[in-house]
A and B are shown apart, each in its own frame.
Chain A
Amino acid sequence: MKRESLIGKDIPRIDSPEKALGRAKFAADIVLPGMLYAKVVRSPYAHARILNIDTSKAASLPGVKAVVTGIEDTPRGGLFGIVSYTKDQVLLPYDKVRYYGEEVAAVAAIDEDTAEEAAELIKVDYEPLPFVLNVEDALKEGAPLVHEDKPGNIAARYLVNEGNVEEAFINSDYVWEKTFTCEVASHALPEPYTAIASYEPSGKMNLWMQTQCPFQTRQALSNTLKLPLSDIRIHSIPMGGGHGGRSDTFPAAFIACLLSKKTGRPVQVKLSREEIEDCMRDKASKIWHIKVGFKKDGTITARDIKMTLECGAYASSSIVELWVPLLIDEVLWRTESYRYFGELVYTNKTISSMMRTRAHVGPMSMEVCFEQAGEALGIDPVELRLKNALQTGEVSPTKSTITSSGLKDSIKIAVEKSGYREKKGRLGARRGIGLGSGNMQSMFYMGFRSGSTAFIKFNDDGSCTLFTGNCDLGQGNQTLFTQIVAEELGIDMKDVKLCYGDTELCYQDPGTYSMSATVVSGSAVRKAALDAKRRLLEVAGDLLDVSWEEVEMEGKEFSVRYRRGKGKTVSLKEVCRTAFKRGKPIFGFGDHRARVDYSDFNMDLNIPYSERTYGQKVAAYSYGTTVVELEVDCETGKIKIDRIWAVNDCGTVINPLLVKGNMHGQLNFMIGHGLYEMNRWDIRTGRKLTSDFRSYKVPTANEIPDIETYFVGKPDPNGPYGAKEGSLGFGCGLHGAIANAIHDATGVWLYDVPFTPERVLKALEERGIK
């Protein structure tokens, strides 16, 4: 009997049972024989020169096995950075510290208490330096330099200039201009960062740690530790969340390696909640200045964007945030002329990185623009959006073709399902409704690491094992890949075993980075399954005395196609065993490189300032629209979101149960970053004031509105089964939807995210409401 397709089925995550049972072993659950415990000494200054470190007392404390400092132990010349011109971080610095809490030394001891005591005995002499805590100060003439070799505190710049924006504005009938901002927010990752390093006498460095991209991490550790790439092995373990915040290579892993190498024993570095919040990653603050020109009929003539992005002490993966807003903005709304200028600025703060909520002030600015411009031009704002929405087959200003766009559909569905037109302006008493669209890439350009290779081996019992370098931070990638193999081979998911994210056993993969898991890694897995199937059919054909094309595989049985139900059959197990006996076991190999065309892609990654960046940058684009209904409490300034309608254009939905869950997660993150979450610093010391869940409020179950999810359901030509990124893009317009709903409720416009009660009250007061 032909099995029903698994694509489109609600399939629970395969790794959930062990997590429900409390049996999954996360990094901090692992105890290796002889393992030592480390404690890191951190800078009490936001900016200071390291003059001297005295470790003698700590080193002589009983139970202490090793002490490391940058001056003594950091191999010289190996810097961390995502692209060559942003390699700016010594993972254990020896000259100066650039933010409060930066690593300066570490000890490894027989237990945590001893390590802590020893850390306190390490004496560091500093020369405190003036510091900068925001981009305005960092960009001033004569401002203290975070990096002496980066004049003006500029880490990188990026410019796209298409057509002639100045002329286009002169010829426009209406020009709209505004500045938006968003604050530094946290990933607030659930699992505390833990790295265990174990250096073997053979020279092998084994690591158990959290990373979203094991292969990039291995490369970065090799560069900074000066160890051969193949001597570093990152083992695969369950990980408690990533959300973009585990994409970089962190000092804690580097320090664990140094200590393990020095002692010859396994070393665990486990960070506390405060250390994670102070010293891991944040999301960059952003100032987004935008000018948009329109014709009388509502056609957009030009867009001019200037973005200032704050990366904190090191450029890290913020460099990606410098151009991702462009990737999002340029493919949402059509324009004739286009200019995008982004500047990445250093400050003496926690390092920023990628984050799932990404470029939200970008999409938000256009949503507010449509409302305000619509009113000025006398055009219905929904119609204005539909008129300018980019559609399938169109080309972006930097010449990326949109392989599938459900933007218009998503707007129409969201408007209809929410009753938007009937409700807008009519909800009364401080209630409002608002709409916002967003977008996300599936796989952007990552150079050499843009491809994935998967491998399948068949075992002699007829089961198979899939090897993929991709990993899973909770999105459901393990389930997705298993589902794809089972689908192609027509076998049960439980007969597909999985080996993933291990740098020794698997081929290279981008990791859960750049939203590539489905489109790139998933396609590689599918190709590997098809390759294995062909080999199975060939052996079965031999056993059935026909050519492989005449063989049909159903469940675990092979038969001759035209003799269906009658005649001879062979089992999957027989086929596998025959293959073994012949000395040619069954395997499958699949490779997928993103469909990105670099023929005239002129973004030279060695030049931080590039003017023309033509080419297909992204394999596929996901779109979507959200509508929110909310209530504003004009006494307290609090916003209560009652309901969200979320429409996702993620192509074919391979597993709706999982995609819906990921959508809820994205909305939760967006609500947190939109309404409450922001970091604050003590301006006298540069110390972060929001390093725990009491001072940094994330949403709980009480803040979650009713959510309705919908899918556009149009397949993309590039993804496996027509799927593309499914968790982020649809929700990137939520802050625009919230801003518009607040305006609908109160008549007040807010341009600064998050929309905290203080900001809401201030805006209401300025308008004389309250």
Chain B
Amino acid sequence: MKHDIVLKINNETHRITVDSRRTLLEVIREEIGLTGTKEMCNKGDCGSCTVLLDGRPVLSCMMLAVEADGKEILTIEGLAGEKNSLHPIQQAFVESGAIQCGYCTPGFIMSAKALLDKNKDPNVDEIKNAISNHICRCTGYVQIIEAIGRAAKILGGVE
């Protein structure tokens, strides 16, 4: 079945017709053309497809696009400033060496954003908790945890 829905993605409104079986991940990547959000497992086990839905992190592979009708969605592409200038979280990931192959990165960054939006100064356990549903096969997580701590400092004006 086809549905007409409205998705507000990264502050742009998209009126689209989607098949009711399509996941939010598929629609973001294939219909809207924002390929920054990544599929690793397509069944809710890895966190790499995380986007923010009305400010909350959700697994876009586990959600139908029609369920997001009328909602505000933030993807990795919506984080950068003008002319692709890095958002402080992105900057912190780059500087901390938290990105190796980078395939898992957008998902981690979106969960970090959700965490730092509500907790300005998280401790290591809170950071680990916020990313514990994510899989990274390259970094061993150490520099990702450091990056999120560093991002908190940049956002707080300490660095």
Spell out A's residues near B (CB within 8 Å): 10, 12-13, 15-17, 19-26, 28-29, 187-192, 238-243, 272-273, 473-476, 657-658, 660-669, 692-694, 698-702, 704, 707
Contacts and interface: CB of A to CB of B under 8 A. Distances in A.
Contacts of B134: 700-701
B58 to A, nearest CB: 17
Given A12-B95, A701-B128, A21 B135 contact: no
Contacts of B106: 22
Interface in B81-99: 84, 86, 90-91, 93-99
B80 interface: yes
A669 B140 CA distance: 8
A19 B105 contact: yes
Contact of A190 (B34, B36, B101): B101
B155 to A, nearest CB: 15
A273 B141 contact: no
Contacts of B84: 21, 23
Nearest to B45: A693
Contact of B102 (A16, A187, A242, A667): A16
B132 interface: yes
Contacts of A10: 97
A700 B144 CA distance: 12
**Interface of A (DSSP majority class):** loop
Most buried by A among B100, B106, B132: B100
Nearest to B144: A701
A191 B35 CA distance: 13
B40 interface: yes
Interface of B: 29, 34-43, 45-46, 48, 75-77, 79-80, 84, 86, 90-91, 93-106, 109, 127-128, 131-145
A476 B142 CA distance: 17
Most buried by A among B102, B106, B135: B102
Given A26-B38, A188-B137, A243-B137, A20 B94 contact: yes
A238 B101 contact: yes
A29 B105 contact: no
A273 B40 contact: yes
25 contacts: A12-B94, A12-B97, A13-B94, A20-B90, A21-B80, A189-B137, A238-B101, A238-B102, A241-B101, A241-B137, A243-B138, A273-B40, A657-B97, A658-B97, A661-B98, A665-B100, A665-B138, A666-B140, A669-B137, A693-B45, A700-B134, A701-B131, A704-B128, A704-B142, A707-B140
B103 A692 contact: no
A703 B84 CA distance: 34
Given A474-B100, A474-B101, A698-B135, A16 B140 contact: no
Nearest to A25: B35
Given A238-B102, A664-B141, A704-B128, 13 more contacts: A12-B95, A15-B102, A20-B94, A29-B35, A191-B103, A241-B101, A474-B138, A657-B97, A663-B140, A667-B140, A693-B41, A700-B135, A707-B140
Contacts of A188: 135, 137
Contacts of B79: 21
Nearest to A658: B97
B138 A190 contact: yes
A276 to B, nearest CB: 10
Given A239-B101, A701-B128, A665 B135 contact: no
A750 B77 CA distance: 49
A272 B101 contact: no
Contacts of B105: 19-20
A512 to B, nearest CB: 11
B18 to A, nearest CB: 14
Nearest to B100: A474
A311 B132 CA distance: 33
A563 B72 CA distance: 65
B132 to A, nearest CB: 5
B41 A22 contact: no
Contacts of B35: 22, 25-26, 28-29
A278 B43 CA distance: 16
A190 B77 contact: no
Contacts of A476: 100
A702 B128 contact: yes
Contact of A273 (B34, B42, B102, B127): B42
A188 B133 CA distance: 16
A241 B91 CA distance: 22
A310 to B, nearest CB: 23
A698 B46 CA distance: 10
Most buried by A among B38, B48, B132, B134: B38
Contacts of A24: 102
A20 B127 CA distance: 18
A21 B137 CA distance: 20
A700 B102 contact: no
Contacts of A243: 137-138
Contacts of B135: 188, 190, 693, 698, 700
Given A20-B90, A190-B48, A192-B40, A701 B101 contact: no
Contacts of A273: 40-43
